[in-house]
Chain A
């Protein structure tokens, strides 16, 4: 699963922190990463744009070649922050309508893909992040650890827990065989 980043490690020279370079190298991939969490592409792009702005304006002493890890972390934090603020806003604003039933529940979402994405979004934050970075960005354990600021052992444990939970969530489907696109109503 590669975006425009092409899977290559970004150039480690100073020019990699210029906007055009960062954009060409990381933007698409980061938007896709954010869209794993926030369900609207517009929100995903906002998260990514915020991350780019922070990175470019934040006076970070970034180790050359580490900007991708910074960006990933900022994007993940931004995406989670967006989700958290939604929850807080709902909790503090009783008049705000409750979230509608998920597409899965309402039967609107009928694709295997969306069912799996919904399942991933149900995972705890760390588990979801590890799963996404591992199976979406194909990052190594070391890269995931760097991106999430955790030990490699934690990456393993979160991945294991996440997969186990996904297996539980999706288990029924597995046992009943591959469902046709659309799944259960």
Chain B
């Protein structure tokens, strides 16, 4: 601080410039009329933007009432859960894409809702919901109280379809409110009201994922004198199975967010970009007084054990002196949008062919010898489901996050119900045969082959990929070009490269590629590894690009696993690549039978290559 603090000159210039500018700005003549129309039409406009025409207004009303009365989730801050039931008492299908469910949503009586309203201060369809001790009356025994919530495939599918059709099914807004509450909880901000101030899907744009964010106002609860202080505003967008805090700041509570950027942060980055918060880290901070201290950065969504936070970078610009700051981290592993904790999208819950799961991914010699069934997420063990057991059914209860894992409520093959770590379950039909490969919890170990994953994926590309695609029938339709567009976009977002293929080279380890040719490095997956990949990614839409190796006559495939979310017409859709697997088969050119020897060349052996060090899988272009 050696500079003089005489700013009189610049102050004078600023004042004069501002005065001159102010004189040049006058409201447009029709400003009042437009504003009056906007105020009067606001309510209807919201419905219209959400896709509710007059035909759907009754549905909108019911959804709004349900949301306002607490159907909105409370999942992350809850210790227990309760099944969601519809107003008629039947098990209601939770929108399975929503990981943030309200455990209290089962309340179906008007009285209970009214009580809930009076306690929570809900006002209006946008909702004002307090968080704090009195709001958390959910019981950990909820699961045991609601044993009759086994998934109904038909029902869930129906609900999913509603969501996918872009009817703006209430969980979208609900999730963001939950995210806001969870976020504040993590910050230690309690005894506040969270008010959604709009912004949800409020853009006519159907291509800007940023526009699906919601704004929330956080304020202290009014005291006796009716005073209420605004603490901060939050902007939160649902991404993948989680959410992104676009923007939040408060000096009163000393938290601040900075944008995730590559390279050194500059002051320009004070304009916030979406942040991918994925890992808790202790970091050393040094403030203006060079007073070192350690703070713990808490993730909004805990990471999967599969993911390794690295390249942690504390952004100290303008966060100096804050008691909490957020760190931007890099991560490896399959990502679903910006929420990299599950490669298995929840919206397959209860669908006809995905309602039963197989236990996999555990080493046979594990002490437990199977998947532990627990009374609550990360809670006390109550049973064991052996490795390879099939027929595990999910309940129509949204996943929970606890202990860095995503927990599913399930019914075990013997009928016992409880919670299990979701990463060890794969759809039954993901396995080609009964032989289960003992897989590690880390996909790198599981595949024992080439698993090429984007180094950093903090981006969701709003593109329609299409329905689930049979990898064997991929050469038709729009799927392939759209998948490639995702790949290209990924590269562009990641490093700004064009679509010449540099990003494929750099991030996916492919030697070179064009639309008609893919050259992969030596090493490929053996059948067991392929099964493992299928198990891991089971159920995800996948795109396979196939070519023929002229030397071996064998076909080579690149499987691109894509997670697609949202309704195509709603402007909420986005697609993200969650994994890419290379596969090379010794298939006879012209014969086409899988596994047949190639008479024209050597049969490529299928050793199980050592998993590549992902930090080094960056082959340089020729």
Interface residues, chain A, CB within 8 Å of chain B?
A: 1-3, 19, 23, 27-28, 31-32, 35-36, 41-42, 44-45, 49, 52-54, 56-61, 63, 70, 73, 77, 80-81, 83-85, 87-89, 91-94, 112-113, 116-117, 120, 122-126, 131-132, 135-136, 148-151, 154, 160, 163-164, 166-167, 170, 174
Contacts and interface: CB of A to CB of B under 8 A. Distances in A.
B35 A167 contact: no
A35 B25 contact: yes
A117 B233 contact: no
B21 A117 contact: yes
B271 A84 contact: yes
Contacts of B198: 54, 58
B591 interface: no
Contacts of B434: none
Contacts of A117: 17, 21
A81 B247 CA distance: 9
B137 interface: no
Contacts of B459: 92
Given A52-B38, A60-B195, A92-B461, 11 more contacts: A36-B18, A49-B38, A53-B35, A58-B197, A58-B198, A58-B217, A92-B209, A135-B18, A149-B251, A150-B252, A160-B5
Given A59-B123, A59-B128, A73-B230, A174 B18 contact: no
B296 interface: no
A63 B228 contact: yes
A30 to B, nearest CB: 9
Contacts, number: 170
22 contacts: A1-B18, A19-B36, A44-B25, A57-B42, A58-B217, A59-B195, A70-B230, A112-B17, A113-B16, A116-B17, A117-B17, A125-B270, A135-B14, A135-B15, A149-B230, A149-B231, A149-B251, A150-B250, A150-B252, A163-B7, A163-B10, A164-B3
Contact of A89 (B19, B210, B252): B210
Contacts of B206: none
B28 A41 contact: yes
B88 to A, nearest CB: 30
Contacts of A163: 7, 10-11
Interface in B560-584: none
A85 B211 contact: yes
List of 9 A-B pairs having minimum Cβ-Cβ separation, nearest first: A150-B251, A124-B270, A116-B17, A136-B18, A163-B7, A113-B17, A113-B20, A32-B25, A88-B210
Nearest to A83: B271
A58 to B, nearest CB: 5
A116 B32 contact: no
A85 B27 CA distance: 24
B513 interface: no
B19 A1 contact: yes
B311 interface: no
Nearest to B121: A61
A59 B228 CA distance: 13
B9 interface: yes
A151 B318 contact: no
Contacts of A60: 195, 217
Of B34, B36, B124, B217, the most chain A CB neighbours within 10 A belong to B217
A46 to B, nearest CB: 10
Nearest to A89: B208
A18 B459 CA distance: 42
A31 B42 CA distance: 20
Contacts of A19: 35-36, 39
Interface of B: 3, 5, 7, 9-11, 13-22, 25-28, 31-32, 34-36, 38-39, 42-43, 123-124, 126, 128, 195, 197-198, 207-211, 215, 217, 219, 222, 226-228, 230-233, 235, 246-247, 250-252, 267-268, 270-274, 317-318, 459, 461, 489, 492-493, 496
B13 A116 contact: yes
A84 B17 contact: no
Nearest to B270: A124
Contacts of A125: 270-272
A58 B164 CA distance: 29
A174 B9 contact: yes
B571 to A, nearest CB: 14
A70 B229 CA distance: 10
A52 B28 contact: no
B440 to A, nearest CB: 35
B197 A81 contact: no
Nearest to A122: B268
Contacts of B19: 1
Nearest to B45: A53
B228 A87 contact: no
A56 B19 CA distance: 29
A82 B10 CA distance: 28
Contact of B22 (A23, A32, A52, A131): A32
B271 A56 contact: no
A56 B39 CA distance: 7
Contacts of A45: 27-28, 31
Contact of B35 (A23, A54, A123): A23
Contact of A166 (B14, B20, B251, B273): B14
A117 to B, nearest CB: 6
B175 to A, nearest CB: 20
A120 B42 contact: no
Given A31-B27, A49-B34, A53-B38, A77 B233 contact: yes
Contact of B226 (A28, A63, A124): A63
Contacts of A80: 247, 271-272
B27 A27 contact: yes
A57 B43 contact: yes
B27 A28 contact: yes
Given A57-B42, A59-B124, A116-B17, A135 B195 contact: no
A44 B496 CA distance: 31
A166 B267 CA distance: 13
A87 B271 contact: yes
Given A116-B14, A131-B14, A91 B493 contact: yes
B131 to A, nearest CB: 17
A8 B561 CA distance: 61
A49 B207 CA distance: 24
A174 B10 contact: yes
A91 B27 CA distance: 32
